[in-house]
Structure 1
Amino acid sequence: MSASTWAAGSLPSQSGTFALVTGANTGIGFHTALELARAGAAVLLAGRSTSSLAEAAAAIAGEVPAAELTTLQLDLADLASVAAAAEQVLSLGRPLDLLINNAGVMAVPERRTTKDGFELTFGTNHLGHFALTGRLLPALLRSDASRVVTVSARVARSRGTTFDDVASERKYTPMGAYTKSKLANVVFTQELVRRAHGTGLTAVAVHPGAAMTGIQRHVPRVIKAIVSGVIEPLIMQTPTQAAMPSLFAATHPAVPAGAFVAPTGRMEGRGAPGIVPLPPAAADPATAKDLWELSERLTHVSYAFR
């Protein structure tokens, strides 16, 4: 399924919807939050920096004066912060209709660790969101029809990626760690669909295509220069355009559970959002089960669907 003319103005009304977007202070997350607010959703902007979140909320309110916005301090590289943030959301007693797992880190030049000792990229991009989603599950299940949208990347299609060394202790490469985490986002989505069967929860994975956003802050300048001068004219898009797959996955009524949504243009770099094939490595239920159980052991978060 592709939506050749679908754009931000195509969003159905989100009045009455309560949405949480991680990494909402900048880049794709900001534009996702902005368009959800413009469509009438109440949006919880989550991120590490309270000052940056306040600036983002003010910018959204400047465009959508009637927007219902709240900010939430959340550091996905710290499981205690994840637990505290989730507890704040649960304390509202409000059904959570949309969870957009958007935040991430990319191409960290040397191996670093989260506060809990996980390799930083995998720990933030996958384990942090795994823990957050699990802790928010009671609020998600209170909604009649909730969606969890997890943002992956095109590199999830890379061949040969496995989860046999999620700590990257044997070998660390910046893009290797990123690729592993982005494949994990899609695999997590597939297993969440299986485990949530029979509930009102739908899970969808997306990749935004190609866009220069804050996530590339660790990418060497020479690479950025090449991208800007050579690749950008061919396939790159704006952060607003790159938010379209997330918005399509979150709001289009025909998107099925387990779908992988991405731009449908050249090399999936840009173009209207639509459903694209899963990365082959994400289609194996045994791999998904193993990753899920590993994630539970590492984060000490278990999902209770009943």
Structure 2
Amino acid sequence: MLARQPSKSSKTKRQGRVFVITGTSSGIGIETVRAIAATGATLYLTARDLDKAKSALESIFDPSRMELFQMDQDSLASVRAAAAAILKKTSKIHCLINNAGIMAIPDLRFTVDGYELQFGTNHLSHFLLFQLLKPALFAAATPELPSRVVNLSSSSHNIHGINDSDGYSFQRGDYDPGMAYGQSKTANIYMANEIERRYGAEHLHATSVHPGIVATGLTRHMQDIKPSFK
């Protein structure tokens, strides 16, 4: 993956702006940090494994403008703690990029709080993080420079909608790794759409994006697509 380098004008525009990015220890998260770091913005980054993130970001990490926060997204308590730590550092956030995620977990597993692991990690943790950081997003928003939320979704949302008949958890013996992932990605889209509907007029916008199939650790449980990366 190659991150497109920003122009001089975009670098000037983003100096002094604050970005929060989740899942920055591997894959797309690293490249997102690389691209935005080049703009001169301040970055608050989260990762479950801080040692892994520090190693992955070593070549681009600038301690004068970046800080890492531990956040385990299968624990809502960990999300709350990370959000509180970030808000101690800044009262304004210009952009929240919800990048962290897991994919196609082969067997039914649950978060610390009892939610199906992909739904809890990919959606619920980001929904809570947004709610906790929302005041800071509003504080930064202006008509000229609206605040933004970006959710990393996937075309896999086409696989499955929202299954709310059993608490989103596939506990009736019908668990399927791809369907569970699709549900979580559908939820990412719904979340972004609802943020835009509710708050767009108040200069807080949201979008969901499909990054395409990228050779990252996210696909480690999907043996059938790995040959396409060779």
1:55 aligned counterpart, secondary structure: helix
SS of residue matched to 2:46? strand
What is residue 20 of structure 2 aligned with on the other side?
Answer: 20
C-alpha displacement of 1:188: 0.8
Q: What are the Cα deviations for residues 69-92 of structure 1, in whole angstroms up to 9, with x where unaligned?
A: 100101111000000011111122
Over aligned residue pairs, what C-alpha RMSD do you find? 1.9
Equivalent of residue 208 in structure 1, options 198, 206, 211? 211
1:174 CA displacement? 0.5
Match among 74, 79, 88 for residue 77 of structure 1:
74
Which residue number corresponds to residue 194 of structure 1?
197
What amino acid is the match of 2:151?
T
Letter of the aligned partner of 2:116 in structure 1?
A: E
Distance 2:64 2:87 in 1: 21
CA contact (8 A) 1:111 1:172 kept: yes
* Equivalent residue number for residue 274 of structure 1: none
Provide the TM-score with structure 2 as the length reference: 0.88
- Match of residue 148 from structure 2: 147
Q: Deviations 1:80-115 (Å, cap 9, x if unpaired)?
A: 000001111112243011100000000101000000
Equivalent residue number for residue 48 of structure 2? 48
Give the Cα separation in 2 of the matches to 1:67 and 1:227: 40
Q: How many residues align?
A: 218
**Aligned partners of 1:90 and 1:138 also within 8 Å:** no
Amino acid of the structure 2 residue aligned with 1:167: S
2:176 aligned residue = 173
Q: For residues 90 and 229 of structure 2, what CA distance do their matches in structure 1 show?
A: 46
Instruction: State the one-letter code of the partner of 1:177.
Output: A
- Retained in 1: the 8 A contact 2:98–2:126? yes
- Whole-Å Cα distance in 2 between the matches of residues 213 and 103 of structure 1? 12
For residues 151-196 of structure 1, the C-alpha deviation after alignment (integer angstroms, 9 at most, x for no partner) is 00111233x6233341111210110100110011011111111121
How much has 1:66 moved relative to structure 2? 8.2
Amino acid at match of 2:23: G
Partners of 1:87 and 1:9 lie apart in 2 by: 31
**Structure 2 CA distance for partners of 1:66 and 1:119, relative to 1, 3 Å:** closer
| Counterpart check, 1:131 vs 2:128 | yes
User: 1:199 offset after TM fit, Å?
Assistant: 1.7
CA shift for structure 1 position 136: 0.8
2:74 match: secondary structure: coil
SS of residue paired to 2:45: strand
Using the alignment, how far apart are the partners of 2:80 and 2:24 within structure 1?
Answer: 18
**C-alpha distance in 2, partners of 1:97/1:81?**
22
Per the TM alignment, residue 205 of structure 1 is displaced from its structure 2 partner at its CA by 0.8
Equivalent residue, structure 2, for 1:97: 94
Identical aligned pairs, as a percentage?
Answer: 37
Encode CA deviations 1:248-292: one digit per residue, 9 max, x unaligned.
xxxxxxxxxxxxxxxxxxxxxxxxxxxxxxxxxxxxxxxxxxxxx
Contact 2:6 2:38 in 1 (8 A): no
Which runs of 5 or more structure 1 residues have no equivalent in the other structure? 1-5, 230-306
Structure 1 distance, partners of 2:153, 2:226, is: 24
> Which SS does the other structure have where 2:29 is aligned?
helix
Aligned-pair CA distance for 1:198: 3.0
Residue of structure 2 in register with 1:283 after alignment: none
Residue 138 (structure 1) shift: 1.2
Q: CA deviation at 1:134?
A: 0.5
Amino acid at match of 2:53: L
Q: Distance in 1 between matches of 2:163 and 2:125?
A: 16
